[in-house]
Structure 1
Amino acid sequence: MAAASPGTARVPRTLIDRLAGWWRTSALGLWAVVVGMGLFELVLLTQQLAGGPVPGARLWAGLSGLTVLALLGRRRWPLAVLILTALASAAAELWGPGAILNLPVLIALYSLFVSGGAPQRLVGVPVLLAGWILPPVLRGVPYPLTARLTPYIFFALAVLTAAAISRARREALEHGDAQLAAQAAEHRLTAQRDAARRQARVAGELHDSVGHDLTAIIALSEGLAGATGRQDVDEAIELINSLARDGLADTRRAVDALRPTPSAEGDDTAAGPGRLSSRADGPDWDDLSGLLDTTRRTGVAVALTETGQRPEGAAIGTLAYTVVREALTNVMRHAQGATRIVISLDHTAGLTRVTVSDDGRAAPAGQAEAAAAPGGAGHGIAHLAEVLSEVGGTLSAGPAPGGWRLQARIPHPEAA
């Protein structure tokens, strides 16, 4: 079972748990055992030499060193290390100075039962028993085999008990971490579900209130069509009717987008930050001309320049349209004395830049505060900046020589 990732909730650890976890994973703990075993084997060989000449002493000293160094791989290859140490121990008993390599075998056995899987353990135990039984059988020891194996089995059981306790404690902590992670994920999903329900409720209220008002405006403007006898007034009424219909369509699209659909429930990849919607039912590049014509009817000259090749897909066009619409709305509402608006669309490899400049003056501080109050300008720029940030873009707006400028950078999905 995998441990909890960094930054997630974890089961509280005691001091012993923290020390044990550090010992299992640190290189210092790995080398400390090897150095300790090397010193122990050196003491055993020194005692053997003190008792008299040992045939092939250098050979067995080299074999002992290699066996001890093999313990460095006990975490990654526990079964291979156990087999190697068991063979070295059996060789020392058959042809060498005797039982000088039994302790490395016990250390390898501990590592196998702490980190190895069940199939590895099933293979390792018979190999270990064979390494203990075959040497005395082949040499024909004069005492019973049980007397020979009793101390080995006793130490092996002690090692296995310690390994079982360590493994059980580690798995219990990892299981607790996994449960906490699952609970945290469940809480996040619950919060997302509640947020989606709130959005659906707000969407319904928005549709009922704004939709009703826009429908009433449409009905009233249609009733006044041709009733004034003045061409300019009739054109203004027609424009009001057209804008109200566009606003009603935009409201319905926004409400539909806020309502969770059965196919999207439980699917975090259906939509979200960092992704451009692939829906093609919103405004696109071709709708920019109508937006500019509407602004021109208010008496402001609007010019559009475009360089480069438009990117494929409707999502970029929809976002560019939204940027231009918000910029034009701000000019009409806040730029005093504006007579000219210049819009630039610059398409490069992987990026579309939208620049909207005007020659108006910013509203005085008192009027700006009133526009920002409830019922005033709202949060169009802030919301648009959030939308662009979610797809990896940027938005900036501020004074420019001779007026005001808004700039947006829209990355293309394939470049992101």
Structure 2
Amino acid sequence: MTSPVRALWDAPAATPAPPRRVWRDWVLVGVVPVLALVEASVRPGVAWSWLWAVVLAALAPTLLWRRRHPLSMLAIAFTVGTTVGLVVGGDPQLYTAAYFLILLYAVFRWGSGRAMIGGAAIVVAGMLLTFAASPPAVADVIGGIAVAATTATLGLAVRWRRGALARQLEQVRLLEREQLARDLHDTVAHHVSAIAIQAQAGTAVAATDPGATAEVLRAIETEASRTLREMRAMVGVLRATDAGLVPTPGLAALRALETTDAAPPAVTVSLDGDLDTVPPAVAAALYRIAQEAVTNARRHARGATRIEVQLDVDAAGVRLVVADDGRGAASVDPGFGITGMRERAALLGGSCAAGPSGRGWSVTAQVPRAGWAS
């Protein structure tokens, strides 16, 4: 087989799987026999009209299984119809026979590649046998082929369109899952890391300095409350019918990262420039980058006593630097945190780099104004 034919032959059935049957199918099965009998009674000049009416009425139940077994139902209907046509010496002249096109449509809409090839072969063979038994006019031949081809094409078009929509929805789901994963990682990891560090500090001073222990417990309570608030906000975003009503963290929220408590390292925040000119989406992304960078510094910077967060807004854009004075590794494999920071910056047309700088480690993110103006 040639490559296109092989690809069609191996094509799976349409997904998602079709419904077994719906109420319209029962209506159709109930209406077709009535139409066939009524048409036979009002068109007495049609040859073998009552025989064809009975045949068409008897084959109507094939419509009930056309989605789950499209090739089988098409084969039954066309084989019986062609056989009766060869016996009486002509194809059915009743308009009700047009419902056979629904069976043909179902093969190309729901069937596998093998079913489509088999269905096309059955239809072609039926036409050739009928034409050989009673040669029709050229116009009738062209018309019959055109109608069958149009029906099959319509089935393929609907199938392709529904498949494209399903793939698009799946892509949206994947993007939403990635966004949710980034937000969960940035938010929860930041606060939980702070809680873990405070707990370690409290354990170290519990026996010698009860006052410091109480201060550490208050810091843990504060971080836990922030975690709960942000988790509730994220759940609210997921449940909200209008996500635009839920506020997102801005650049001013970077002040909340600042800490001067007993548990090192201390975090200082410096903001410079006109913060109000930065769009909310850019501000939220930079906030998450800073939050993740501070979390990483707290977790991985050995011996760090200070973390500096510096954000500058100028005519060129925004530049964020998060640096610590600890002993970081010379290089690290990018994990979820670094990957998430780079993705956030890249989505805004900017960049984010992380690596050793001087004594410690630094994360530098830059978002040009061209990135958020486009």
Interval of TM-score (by shorter of Structure 1 and Structure 2): 0.3 to 0.5
* TM-score normalized by the length of structure 1: 0.41
Q: Which has the larger radius of gyration?
A: 1
* TM-score normalized by the length of structure 2: 0.45
